Amino acid sequence: MSKYYVLWTRLHEKFGGAYVRIHAAGCGYCNEGRGALLGRGQNSGIWHGPYDHDEALRFAEGLAVSDTRPCRRCMRSVVDQIGHGPVAVPA
Ligand SMILES: [Zn+2]
């Protein structure tokens, strides 16, 4: 079964706050939860996981960060399904 990781970072705080991204384990930005090999940014967050697909979505929603999205690069199927807008976060 595919594994997924959830990245939480405040790196872009000056651009509007923390954000959460959901990645597949094999994604170049995720690298099994170790972050992008090229560094810069994705490494400065906190990786949570691995989770299965539904767990990852639930965990990401539970963080209650308004800017929560599936990775456009590795989660094409989810993006196709719900669009690249924010994941629905419970009020
Ligand atoms: Zn990704």
C-beta pairs of 82-87 under 8 Å, 24+ apart in sequence:
87/22, 87/57, 87/60, 87/61
Domain total for the chain?
A: 1
Convert the pLDDT of each residue in 23-77 to its tens digit.
Answer: 999 998 888 888 875 555 445 688 999 999 999 999 999 998 888 999 988 887 6
Q: Does residue 5 contact residue 33 with C-beta atoms inside 8 Å?
A: yes
Convert the pLDDT of each residue in 68-91 to its tens digit.
Answer: 999 988 887 665 665 555 565 444
The arrangement of strands across the sheet holding 4-9 comes to 46-51, 4-9, 19-24, 68-70
Q: Per the domain annotation, does 73 fall within a domain?
A: yes
Q: Per the domain annotation, does 8 fall within a domain?
A: yes
Q: Per the domain annotation, does 90 fall within a domain?
A: no
The residue range of the domain holding 37 is: 4-82
Q: Does residue 4 contact residue 24 with C-beta atoms inside 8 Å?
A: yes
Decide if pLDDT at 13 tops 90: no
| Ligand 1: centre distance to CA 14 (Å) | 23
Q: Quick one: CA dihedral 4, 10, 14, 17, positive or negative? A: positive
| Ligand 1: centre distance to CA 89 (Å) | 20
Q: Per the domain annotation, does 62 fall within a domain?
A: yes
Q: Per the domain annotation, does 88 fall within a domain?
A: no
Q: Per the domain annotation, does 57 fall within a domain?
A: yes
